[in-house]
Amino acid sequence: MRKTRMAAVAAGAALIAGLTACGSEKADGGGDDAKGGGSPVQGALAALKKASTATDKQNSAVADGVQTMTLEGKPVTSKMKGSFDWSSGGMQGQADITTNGTPTEARYLSDAMYSKMAQPVQGKQWLKVDYEAMAKKNATGALLKDQLQNNNPARSVQLLLASGKVKSAGTETVRGQKATRYTGTLTLSELVRMQSKDLKESEKQALEQQFKQNGMESEKIDLWIGEGDLLVKKCEVAKGTKSSTENTVYYSDYGTKVDVSPPPASQTLDSTELGSGAGGLG
């Protein structure tokens, strides 16, 4: 039962990390190439630089999406809809999440995430996962902490900017809105090196080794930029010989008001109280 609960919480953490994506905070659009003109790559970089700035300035948005992944050797499908705010630099918000048919509510604050459990444990309804405790457990926990605290939807745009590996894939309609699709593929080694703001070198090496063990080699990223140069859809696909992940997110209602607070302390159980592994989601 404890493993089932923690698997659901881990899926929620991974889903929101995927929602906010990743990227180098210092991404500058590839230098002079991003000024436009010249090759199609230069034109795509210029467009994404505008999208990064426009999306980041909005400070908040509604997001909904679905992620399929392999967790502990089993397929896990998580669907999510919520509202998120990144005006303070980090990411805070709330979401309704359904993992393999089981619904829950999650809240994300600057220092921890809270997941509402299907059944009370020790008389408490909410499970708290502290980001610091998660980071101390292993490299995966450190990566999740980094992403949950530092990222926002603009980071997926910044990631392709920093890589320089992007091209336009034409115009499509996304939920009734005309949008231009941009696509790029990065090696997982590049992702580890570029996506993480505060990871130690040893943690980056551990993540690279973990990806190799799972047979993961690359990730394909597709972004759809709509009206006002805003990100309206993102799809990330990473496939390996032992595991795979696909994450698709839609963004709307930029500038929405987000009001989130932690559950009452009397109704909250710290994940570390559940035994070994809980604090680090694994």
Alpha-carbon distances, residue 272 vs 132, 278, 280 (angstroms): 11, 6, 8
Q: How far apart are CA 133 and CA 280, in angstroms?
A: 6
Q: How far apart are CA 254 and CA 83, in angstroms?
A: 10
The domain that holds 90 is classified in CATH as 2.50.20.20
List the beta strands (DSSP E) in the chain. 60-71, 74-85, 92-99, 102-108, 112-121, 124-130, 167-174, 177-187, 218-225, 231-239, 244-252, 268-270
Query: pLDDT (tens digit, 0 to 9) for every residue of the chain, 282 residues total?
Result: 444 444 444 444 444 455 444 444 433 444 333 334 457 888 999 999 999 999 989 999 999 999 998 766 788 899 999 999 988 867 899 999 998 898 999 999 988 999 998 889 999 999 999 988 888 887 777 777 877 777 688 888 888 888 888 999 999 999 999 999 999 998 877 776 665 666 677 777 777 777 677 667 788 999 999 999 999 999 999 877 777 889 999 999 999 999 999 999 999 999 888 754 444 344
Q: pTM here?
A: 0.81
Both tokens of 47, joined, read 């467009």
Q: How far apart are CA 163 and CA 170, in angstroms?
A: 20
Number of domains in the chain: 1
| 275 torsion bin: left (phi>0), alpha (psi -120 to 50), beta (else) | left
List CB contacts of 35: < 8 A, sequence separation 6 or more: 42, 46
**Residue 87 belongs to what domain range?**
2-280
Backbone angles phi, psi at 13, to 5 degrees: -65, -45
Could you tell me if 29 and 160 are in contact, meaning their C-beta atoms sit under 8 angstroms apart? no
| Distance from the Cα of residue 92 to its chain's centroid | 12
